[in-house]
A and B are shown apart, each in its own frame.
Chain A
Amino acid sequence: MDSPELEIVKRTAALARLEITDAEARTLAPQFARILAQFQVLTSVDVEGVEPMTGATRLADVTRADEPRASLPRAATLANAPDERDGFYGVPKTIGGGS
């Protein structure tokens, strides 16, 4: 049975599609634990009556009109694609797993 920290590291890596070795996970686990402990300090702050923050700015309602702007030429869009096929991005075969 892995420690809770090790579990978190492995799960987070899996969600981020990062391949990490067991040794790497063991190195990262205590570091994770320290980071999480640091954030744990925040739970000691009294937030009674304080409105939850929904963002770091005080901006609201920044919108634009529904007016088209030129899209990029396809060649430019695909210029960085490692594998371009017939105007598509080619990626390793992946079925399922979408939202």
Chain B
Amino acid sequence: MSTAAAGVVSGQTGTRWIPVIGLEVHCQLDTRTKLFCGCEYSFGAEPNTITCPVCTAQPGALPVLNSAALEYAVRAALALNADVAPVSKFDRKNYFYCDLPKGYQISQFDLPYCTGGGIQLASGKFIRLTRIHMEEDAGKAIHDRGDATLVDLNRAGVPLIESVTEADMCSADEAHEYLTALKEIFQYIGVSDCDMEKGSLRCDVNVSVHPEGEPWRTKVEVKNLNSFRNVRASIQYEIARQIEAYETGDPAQYPEQETRLFDVAAGVTRTMRSKEDAHDYRYFPDPDLPLVTVDAVLIERQRGLLPELPVARRARYESELGLSAYDAGVMTAARDVADFFETVVRVGGDPKAAANWIANDVLRALSDPDVAASSILELLVKPNDLAELIALVGDGTVSKNAGREVLDEMLRSGARAKDVVQAMGLEQVQDTSQIDEWCRAALAGREATVADVRAGNLKAIGALMGPVMQASKGSADPQLVRAALLRIIGEEG
């Protein structure tokens, strides 16, 4: 099986298959409290310590909408160029499961707060959103401890927005790119940390395949994918599985409409439930919750809070600051990094140098236990410190390599670049008479190499640079050393 352009997959039989993919993404909103009660959620808390009569469904308890959740939801909609409905309502989605104490989930059915919008991929293809709705999260059920299922209701009632795309994607790569862009946007606008490991971003995918030019076929849903890698792997697996099933030519083996789960260890999807026992959610308006209206004031206030989004920043970094597409991508992937980078540039740091230092050295430091910072904002090195270091390397005061040592020290101690350079004696020697002296010493006894250089083999100069740098204990400015060697060899010839 091979993949050609535009998502076409060629099967064993030579048929050209077109995958059709849609995503449903659940994203936890970063509000302090839950959607309908004042419990202050935090991931990883002791089980059942963040619950109250509302989120454990005690009789008589009434839900009241968290205004911040609505504001965050509206902001997310605006960032995706979607239409915010002037009126929406909450409905009950009824099903029985042990992590859902009320026996229904409060969600939005036929009047979601948001429709339309979407995300443009780098190729120019636009992935349309069908809708976004607000809903409450369920609790957590743990099945692998002992003979009972254990239920923790801390998460029950945490606000979610579920965004549903049209089936506009045709490859695992497109789905991955869409999801990445969605996550970046939600993080930029500050509505969610989108941390898949903590479950604050969860994704279900719908996949079907059909021969080119033919109508769409049965779609299969794969649920609860908790990493970007699993999203990609499950889509690739489903596409291959479905094509193989159709190519048997035996209708009994064709894909059924069903829900499947991705088995991470085995790298395969498995049947979770088939259409026959599909849920009948019997949605109806929640009588406990009145209508939600969103007026122009709320919309404009949230629009005013939107920062420049990653795509726009990326384009600006390329066109105005001269960064490569790759560097612009690294600088904009997270908002705090982009803000850090922009500050370095604003206080005078050369943009390309700044991007290199941040991508290669600063971000790497975040995984260094000695540095002990979990985000770029926590680093002891602030943007103006980095700009100062960039200037010192730029004007030759320290070499790039020495600059790295300086940065390491700055990251550990928080000292300023100039002070570290002085304290560590890393200033490059730019005194030409001192450099000449080292060069003459190095040339003595290396007549063969010198003759080589004279004969026009300029690469041989490298063999002379080493001893000079060694003699200077690495402090000589390599460019000056090279110039001096050439000059002296020339003079003495």
Contacts and interface: CB of A to CB of B under 8 A. Distances in A.
A62 interface: yes
Interface string A14-50: 0111000000000000000000000000000000000
Interface in B98-116: 98-100, 105, 111
B89 A55 contact: yes
Given A15-B282, A62-B64, A71-B49, A90 B32 contact: no
A30 to B, nearest CB: 22
A54 B285 contact: yes
B137 to A, nearest CB: 10
Nearest to B281: A99
Interface residues of A, number: 41
Contact of B150 (A11, A60, A85, A98): A85
A91 B149 contact: yes
Interface stretch (B2-10, B289-297, B361-369, B414-422): B289-297
A61 B142 contact: no
Contacts of B273: 96-97
A98 to B, nearest CB: 5
Contacts of A96: 261, 272-273
Contacts, number: 151
A56 interface: yes
Q: Which residue, of B47, B53, B93, B146, has the highest number of chain A Cβ atoms within 10 A?
A: B47
B142 A88 contact: yes
Contact of A71 (B52, B87, B151, B272): B52
Q: Which residue, of A74, A87, A95, A99, has the highest number of chain B Cβ atoms within 10 A?
A: A99
A65 B261 CA distance: 38
B150 A64 contact: no
Nearest to B95: A99
Nearest to A15: B280
Nearest to B280: A15
Contacts of A91: 98, 141, 148-151
A71 B51 contact: yes
B281 to A, nearest CB: 8
A2 interface: no
A4 interface: no
Contacts of A68: 32-33, 38-40
Interface stretch (B67-75, B174-182, B301-309, B454-462): B67-75
Contact of A15 (B33, B94, B100, B147): B94
B48 A78 contact: yes
Interface of B: 31-33, 37-40, 46-53, 56, 64-70, 87, 89, 93-100, 105, 111, 138, 141-143, 146-153, 261, 272-273, 279-280, 282, 285, 287, 289-293
Interface of A: 11, 15-17, 54-57, 59-72, 74, 77-78, 83, 85-99
Q: Which 4 A-B pairs have the closest CB atoms?
A: A69-B38, A66-B68, A59-B290, A88-B150
Given A60-B291, A68-B39, 8 more contacts: A17-B96, A60-B292, A63-B65, A67-B38, A68-B40, A71-B51, A94-B149, A97-B97
20 contacts: A54-B111, A55-B89, A55-B285, A55-B289, A61-B293, A62-B289, A64-B38, A64-B67, A65-B67, A66-B66, A67-B32, A67-B33, A71-B39, A71-B49, A74-B46, A74-B48, A86-B47, A87-B47, A88-B48, A97-B97
